[in-house]
Amino acid sequence: KATTPSDLEIARAVTLRPIEEIAASAGIPADALELYGRYKAKIDVERLPPADQLGRVVLVSAISPTPAGEGKSTLTVGLADSLARAGRRTMVALREPSLGPILGLKGGATGGGRSQVLPMEDINLHFTGDFHAITSANNALCALIDNHVFHGNELGIDPRRVTFRRVMDMNDRALREIVVGLGGPTQGVPRQDGFDITVASEVMAVFCLAKDATDLADRLARITIGYTYSRKPVTVADLGAEGVMAMLLKDAIKPNLVQTIAGTPALIHGGPFANIAHGCNSVIATTTARRLAEIVVTEAGFGADLGAEKFVDIKARSADVAPSVVVLVTTVRALKMHGGVPKDCLAEPDADALARGMPNLARHVATVRRFGLEPVVAVNRFSSDSTEELDTVLAWCSRAGVRAAVADVWGRGGGGDGGDELAREVLAALEAPGQCRQLYPLALPVDEKIRTIVRDVYGGADVEFSDLARRQLAQIEENGWGGLPVCMAKTQYSFTDDATQLGAPEGFTVHVRELWPRTGAGFIVAVTGALMTMPGLPAHPAALRMRLDDDGRPVGLF
């Protein structure tokens, strides 16, 4: 029996088209293209012709994910290919993968099966150097902070209250907490510091929310790096570092063009964390795609309680990217897991567990409708799914009046016929698109914003603030940051702040431990539960199965 080919094997069998051809098909003039080899290019947005109409945004989100991943990226790519196959000018907008998780567990983050963006080896490994540039801009600021403190500390920065940390694109737990400046008076001023992974950097969040180069520099200038001895916030502007940071990002802010397996143009740009940041690709890429295509298919991280909420309340509040339709990716396996089936028994049919898992999907559907948007449920088909189980999900959706389709874009590809039905449902939904509205007004106090999200999106009863969080709420008001939206840092596996509470629990309290002002990105992070801003590697990292083959090609990316 033939074994299923790996994502990498499928990717390698595809004959890529030169990126100039893909650009031409998307209406990108040759002089707006900056080539990075034969299959990647950056787009100089300034050189694009004016758009007479902006494309509509289809946001791909999901039910509460299980540890396996629900296939959101796969569905995003597959749906775009299906829409292109249906004759619509379509573009994909996705996040750039982070190297740390690739070397750890994930092995790659460019979709899967017959729905991938290519060249997957390049996109997964360094790509066009954007993460390097973001890391450099972040660390230039760190060097300037410590240098300022060393040379007399005119601003009076309290070294114990520097909140801005160094970053690198690696899972390296040994660097979470470190001491810098050791070695005597000529080596700097000792203080406790630490590294985060690059995707957790506020520079990444700023990069992804900036509308253009000017907005980028303005937002960088507003980043709070710490506090003075008298507890006054210190910003990048106080240090005068926004100029060099913006300079280091001058090429990175141009969106990267690649192609899907079926040759649909894809912009892959930026990749902020989905917990302490908003978890979607850059505003610049999404708006560029809107200028070029009739339909833009884009993805938000985690489930709709986190990803779609942040897309609407953070990204679409500050930029013109409001979605018209939200696709909720679900799998029979994940619904069974929400119905109480353990991870290693998900291949066995279990109608009761499936029914018990449905309320999770139902709550996400309600959330999407609360945003004024029309949900379309996409059941991502796995080979272990039985026809009865797939029909059960479709029947539930039909009773709930929700558009739904089974998609096999992983197995058959969106360029094949694997996503035709889903594309039909999405196109029908686009005929009567919703009117996107935010969940809360910015004028609401920060604690009330958090309560609104917990009650209206998570289905919880209340919020409990730690003593520290309560003090921080007062400081946030005092410093004039109370009008910022909230970015919830919560486990993606549950509506609650406890990752083991699957399904759709009710009556729970969410515990806010800490609040982190991200004044450059323009949101307040509400930290619930344990939070990792520098992941570690697992006992058997994917990295140890990676190498180059005899022809110098990567092996071991999934």
Nearer to ligand ADP, 69 or 226 (CB): 69
Respond yes or no: is residue 72 known to be catalytic. yes
Shortest spacing between CB 548 and ligand ADP, in angstroms: 21
DSSP annotation of 26:
T
Q: Which two tokens stand for residue 110?
A: 């460019």
Nearer to ligand ADP, 71 or 323 (CB): 71
Respond yes or no: is residue 336 known to be catalytic. no
Q: What is the 3-state secondary structure (H, E, C) of 220-264?
A: HHHCEEEEECCCCEEEHHHHCCHHHHHHHCCCCCCCEEEEECCCC
Shortest spacing between CB 435 and ligand ADP, in angstroms: 28
Sign of torsion over alpha carbons 517, 518, 522, 526 = negative
Shortest spacing between CB 4 and ligand ADP, in angstroms: 8
Respond yes or no: is residue 290 known to be catalytic. no
Nearer to ligand ADP, 45 or 341 (CB): 341
Cα-Cα-Cα-Cα torsion 73, 79, 82, 83, nearest 10 degrees, comes to: -130
Say if CB 194 and CB 175 are below 8 A apart: yes
Question: What is the spatial distance between Cα 376 and Cα 407, in angstroms, rounded to a whole number?
Answer: 12
The residues, any chain, with a CB within 8 Å of residue 416's CB and separated by 6 or more, are 114
Shortest spacing between CB 74 and ligand ADP, in angstroms: 3
Q: Which residues is 101 bridged to in the sheet? A: none
Closest-approach residue to ligand ADP (CB): 112
Catalytic residue among 109, 205, 217, 274: 274
Say if CB 375 and CB 369 are below 8 A apart: yes
- Return the SS3 of 213: helix
Place of tokens 């249906």: 86
Question: What is the spatial distance between Cα 179 and Cα 167, in angstroms, rounded to a whole number?
Answer: 15
DSSP string, 517-555: EETTTTEEEEEES---SS----SS-GGGG-EE-TTS-EE
Nearer to ligand ADP, 169 or 299 (CB): 299
Question: What is the spatial distance between Cα 410 and Cα 413, in angstroms, rounded to a whole number?
Answer: 6
Nearer to ligand ADP, 165 or 381 (CB): 381
CA–CA distances in Å: residue 235 to residues 7, 13, 74, 109, 348: 44, 50, 40, 34, 55
Question: What is the spatial distance between Cα 255 and Cα 3, in angstroms, rounded to a whole number?
Answer: 37
Shortest spacing between CB 232 and ligand ADP, in angstroms: 41
Nearer to ligand ADP, 73 or 136 (CB): 73
Nearer to ligand ADP, 440 or 558 (CB): 558
Catalytic residue among 302, 396, 465, 481: 302
Report the Cα 316 to chain-centroid distance in Å: 14
Q: Which residues is 259 bridged to in the sheet? A: 118, 265
Respond yes or no: is residue 317 known to be catalytic. no
Shortest spacing between CB 496 and ligand ADP, in angstroms: 21
Catalytic residue among 195, 311, 410, 495: 410
Shortest spacing between CB 99 and ligand ADP, in angstroms: 15
Say if CB 320 and CB 289 are below 8 A apart: no
Respond yes or no: is residue 343 known to be catalytic. no
Place of tokens 């515990």: 511
Nearer to ligand ADP, 278 or 381 (CB): 381
Place of tokens 């298919």: 297
Nearer to ligand ADP, 254 or 412 (CB): 412
Pairing verdict, β 295-299 and 56-62: parallel
Shortest spacing between CB 441 and ligand ADP, in angstroms: 32
Q: Which residues is 93 bridged to in the sheet? A: 267, 298
Sort 362 into a burial class: Cβ within 10 Å, 0-12 / 13-18 / 19+: middle
Catalytic residue among 40, 72, 403, 518: 72
Shortest spacing between CB 551 and ligand ADP, in angstroms: 24
Nearer to ligand ADP, 115 or 135 (CB): 115
DSSP string, 413-452: -TTTTTTHHHHHHHHHHHHS------SS-TTS-HHHHHHH
Shortest spacing between CB 31 and ligand ADP, in angstroms: 35
Respond yes or no: is residue 558 known to be catalytic. no
Q: Omega into 119 within 30° of 0, i.e. cis?
A: yes
Q: Which two tokens stand for residue 133?
A: 């540039």
Half-sphere exposure of 7 (CA within 13 A, CB side): 26
Where do contacts with ligand ADP occur on this chain (CB under 6 A)?
A: 7, 69-74, 109, 111-113, 380-382, 410, 558
Catalytic residue among 40, 85, 88, 95: 95
Question: What is the spatial distance between Cα 323 and Cα 57, in angstroms, rounded to a whole number?
Answer: 5
Nearer to ligand ADP, 71 or 233 (CB): 71
Shortest spacing between CB 329 and ligand ADP, in angstroms: 7
Please give the positions annotated as active site: 72, 74, 95, 106, 274, 302, 382, 410
